[in-house]
Structure 1
Amino acid sequence: MTTSLGATATAASSASAEPGPSTPAPADELGVRAARIRSAELEEQIRTDPRRFRVSTGDRPTGRLHLGHYFGTLHNRVRLQDLGTELFVVIADYQVLTDRDVADDLPGHVEELVLDHLAAGVDPARSTIFTHSAIPALNQLLLPFLSLVSVSELGRNPTVKDEIAHSRQAAVSGLMFTYPAHQAADILFCKANLVPVGQDQLPHLELTRVIARRLNHRYGSGGVPVLPEPEALLSAAPLLLGTDGTKMSKSRGNAIALAASADETARLIRGAKTDSERHISYEPATRPEVSGLVLLTALCLGRDPRQVADDIGGAGAAALKAAATEAVNEYLAPLRARRAMYARDRGHVRQVLREGNERASAIAETTLNEVRAAMKTLY
């Protein structure tokens, strides 16, 4: 399935426009191209020596994960774990305190995230799942990190801009504003040297690299860095659209949750938006709704989306939706069975989190002491 996912992603991304040979590429596009080249090199190094890599990634606990999360991030986390890298998954509970609706049931949302990871194949014996709020030393790193970045640098960060633009609050909190520095602490507390990201997150990771670089320059000695500058492993996962043809999102009600029942999945796909053209084709730029269903079906079947579209052909949207429903339910059946098994033992779920918190806390304490020693603040 890894191979087919990569092939599908390549096919999906090949349709994107690229500047012609005589047209200079924008600086940000040059950065993405460089990241793609470097990511290919990193993938080869992972295959050769996976244990040299420590991976940091995570989610905000705002509800159950959906198929967009699975094909976008979860599948890749399990792949990296199974290759032999050391994986740290942060459940960023502090980052949802600005959302009252979510924070009201924070323990429930945290447990749902743990269940989704366990069901997807994240193994707590080989990987560490932990929460922000349980790791005091990680959060203490935020203070020296904030001293290394300016207010304007935080404000220019794309994620902060997006959060501000979409915030339902009357005013943006200081916690939300410091999100990029907090994410740097999530990555650097364990000295992660690899972070899987989409290309839209490259500027975010660059600020983490800037913080590490400045800390090393200011407090390092003898040319020995205090913290690594983590590299981006650019995700090849395609954008999976929701049932309304827009980005799949829990808040938009257009997502198929990993934990959804087979009947609920069928209902959501039956109600998915398509278009008036009967013949099914895979054309993401001009037929996003139909192409989204085709891509979802292809990902679950491990096939090329154009082949899936050709097979359905003139059978129309009803046949496409039937194929998508069957493919999704068959693909998710083992995951859903594992999730139901874990959900019956909430004590085990909480134990996984306690052990992950203990492991992450010990590592964070060591890193914090090293940073304090470098800053000469160990008294």
Structure 2
Amino acid sequence: MTSTTATSTTTPASGDVPGGVPGETPDDARSLDRARERSAELADLVRTAPHRLRMLTGDRPTGRLHLGHHLATLRGRLALQEAGVETFVVVADYQVITDRDAPGPLRERVLDVVTDQLALGLDPERTTFFAHSQVPELNELVVPFLSLVTDAELRRNPTVKAEHAASGGRQLSGLLLTYPVHQAADIVFCGANVVPVGKDQLPHLEVARLIVRRFTERYGDAGLVPPDALLTDAVTVLGTDGQKMSKSRGNTIDLAMTADETARVLRRAVTDSERRITYEPERRPEVANLLLVGAMCSGRTPADLAEEIGDGGAGALKAYVTDAVNAELAGLRARRAELTRDPGAVLAALRAGTDRARAVAAATLARVHRALGMTY
């Protein structure tokens, strides 16, 4: 994602577009089945014809990336790049103000997110990094796309409903209400036909597919690509307090931490009073979480790891997990240290990616304008 000229992507044939948002229609189970079937086809294409695929993914820069991000999404992102899938990564700075009054140290956080991913191995010659706010052509697409969805459809979106509920009854901002449309523009502007998501994020993808379908039906073919989901296994990594690992909770193992900082954080991790280590996620979620982290970082299964540690207790478990996490992140942290000494390289990667994203977005916007008859 860093060449500054737009390229075309051959799109695999898509299945039927469901007529609504999952979770709100009677055929939701069939929609999920179709998504799983299509995801299996995409996984096969990743292996056999990655050049036919273009992937869009991204992060909201509300804080530093942490181990939960690494295990749940970043490693998979790198694997797709290495398989040969053209990759776009949006740093969604506009999304930061969907549900908060102040953006915080946004420039620092945006560059930090890019730094972590460059350190991981994402290559600016193959992966295009860009920030929302720097691609006005993408954001202009939101205007015609808003005409294609109803207020009711937006309010039914699970993420909009969840965010509203979490706000304690605070009035929805217009930006939060239209968040699914903005996310659709992120996907559609670059012709992404692959979006790695968990099944709970399928409603956002359905909004994008719905917008593409309705635009084509109303205004004709503008070359808009209906995206498909590459379903990923939902990996939820708990924080050191036993709650979901979250930047806002302060319970994370940041990718930018040193090995010693990681050891100190893990020593404070919550476990339980039983000495023998067993993998029982329902009964012993904190212990199971540490086993999951240790296993994912060492290529093992949690059950096997529990059997090995046995009566060693929480101390032995934490020691193993600390070594496994530090080994997993050692290369990333070494490269990160090099990048922090050369911040110009990070900024150059972001700016080159932004130039490329703008070129792609401008071409898409021009096609949309032609379909709408807005060429003067």
TM over 0.5: yes
Structure 1 residue 102: deviation in Å? 5.8
In structure 2, distance between residues paired with 1:29 and 1:243: 35
For each residue in 1:170-213, what CA deviation from the matched residue of structure 2 results, as whole angstroms up to 9, or x when unmatched? Answer: 53311111110000000000111110001110111111111111
In structure 2, distance between residues paired with 1:100 and 1:225: 35
Amino acid at match of 1:165: A
**Equivalences for 1:364-375 in 2 at 5 Å?**
364-375=361-372
Q: 1:54 to 1:343 in 2, by over 3 A?
A: same
CA contact (8 A) 2:146 2:181 kept: yes
In structure 2, distance between residues paired with 1:36 and 1:291: 28
Match of 2:223 among 221, 226, 246: 226
Unaligned stretches of 5+ residues in structure 2: 1-25
Amino acid at match of 2:130: F
Match of 1:354 among 347, 351, 355: 351
Unaligned stretches of 5+ residues in structure 1: 1-25
1:314 aligns with 2:311: yes
TM-score, length-scaled by structure 1: 0.89
CA contact (8 A) 2:129 2:350 kept: yes
Give the aligned partner of residue 22 of structure 1: none
**Equivalences for 1:285-304 in 2 at 5 Å?**
285-304=282-301
For each residue in 1:200-248, what CA deviation from the matched residue of structure 2 results, as whole angstroms up to 9, or x when unmatched? Answer: 101111111111111111111xxx5631110000012522221222221
* SS at 2:244 equivalent: coil
Give the aligned partner of residue 202 of structure 2: 202
1:48 aligns with 2:48: yes
Amino acid at match of 1:287: R
CA contact (8 A) 1:88 1:128 kept: yes
Structure 1 residue 165: deviation in Å? 2.1
Q: 1:101 to 1:146 in 2, by over 3 A?
A: closer
* SS at 2:129 equivalent: strand
After the TM superposition, which of the residue ranges 74-83 and 27-36 deviates more from structure 2? 27-36
In structure 2, distance between residues paired with 1:172 and 1:39: 33
Q: 1:31 to 1:241 in 2, by over 3 A?
A: farther
Structure 1 residue 98: deviation in Å? 4.3
1:178 aligns with 2:175: no
Q: Percent identity?
A: 58
- Equivalenced residues, count: 351
Amino acid at match of 1:173: S
Give the aligned partner of residue 216 of structure 2: 216
CA contact (8 A) 2:164 2:170 kept: no
In structure 2, distance between residues paired with 1:350 and 1:338: 16
In structure 2, distance between residues paired with 1:228 and 1:341: 39
Give the aligned partner of residue 236 of structure 1: 233
Amino acid at match of 1:311: E
Give the aligned partner of residue 105 of structure 1: 105
In structure 1, distance between residues paired with 2:29 and 2:120: 33
Give the aligned partner of residue 12 of structure 2: none
Give the aligned partner of residue 156 of structure 2: 156
Give the aligned partner of residue 93 of structure 1: 93
For each residue in 1:303-322, what CA deviation from the matched residue of structure 2 results, as whole angstroms up to 9, or x when unmatched? Answer: 11111110001111111011
In structure 2, distance between residues paired with 1:283 and 1:206: 35
In structure 2, distance between residues paired with 1:314 and 1:102: 49
Structure 1 residue 28: deviation in Å? 4.2
Q: Which has the higher contact order (CA 8 A, sep 6+)?
A: 2
* SS at 2:56 equivalent: strand
TM-score, length-scaled by structure 2: 0.90
For each residue in 1:36-78, what CA deviation from the matched residue of structure 2 results, as whole angstroms up to 9, or x when unmatched? Answer: 3321221111111001001011111111101110111111111
Q: 1:32 to 1:102 in 2, by over 3 A?
A: farther
Amino acid at match of 1:331: E
For each residue in 1:125-180, what CA deviation from the matched residue of structure 2 results, as whole angstroms up to 9, or x when unmatched? Answer: 11100001111110000000000000111111111112222237953311111110
RMSD between superposed Cα atoms in Å = 1.6
